[in-house]
Amino acid sequence: MQFYLVSSLLFAMIVALFAIQNTEIVIIKFLAFEFSVSLVLVILGSAIIGALILYLLSLFKQFGSWFKFRQVRQQKENLEKQINDLIEKIAVLEEGKQELLINEEENKENKTDDIVV
């Protein structure tokens, strides 16, 4: 983070130094418009517009990451719910298995009692 900040400030200082050294008046033509402007303003304006474009692009990336995070969190919650449901089903099946084993043992005892009688 600090490296990013320091490098950004260093770049801004280089751009400002470059702009200050180029003070001529230039003619800017865009579509049907024509402007006479100091080259300093053109350089600084271009740098500012470039920085704003980068900022907007990073916002789109951040929104994409946020959306993806929301999807992953929702998937995680759904999977945790499925796991809990499966754990409950396993518990119910284990209880049913125990009941079947008990019933089977009782049936064996009843059959052996019938055979003995």
Whole-number pLDDT of residue 114: 57
* Percent of residues, the chain, with pLDDT higher than 70: 91
Whole-number pLDDT of residue 44: 83
Is it the case that residue 68 has pLDDT exceeding 90? yes
Whole-number pLDDT of residue 79: 96
Please give the backbone phi and psi of residue 22, each rounded to the nearest 5 degrees, phi first: -115, 90
- Spatial separation of the C-alpha atoms in residues 90 and 63, rounded to whole Å: 40
Residue 36 three-state SS: strand
> What pLDDT band is residue 111 in, cutting at 50, 70 and 90?
low
Whole-number pLDDT of residue 15: 81
Mean pLDDT over 82-110 rounds to: 87
Whole-number pLDDT of residue 87: 95
> Which residues, listed in sequence order, are joined to residue 25 by a DSSP beta bridge?
38
Whole-number pLDDT of residue 13: 85
Question: pTM above the 0.75 mark?
Answer: no
Angle between helices 2-21 and 39-116 (to 10 degrees): 160
Check: CB of residue 34 under 8 Å from CB of residue 27: yes
Check: CB of residue 34 under 8 Å from CB of residue 49: no
Q: How many CB atoms lie within 10 A of CB 115?
A: 7
Q: What is the pLDDT of residues 8-66, one digit of tens each?
A: 888 888 888 887 887 788 888 888 888 898 888 888 888 889 889 988 988 888 888 89
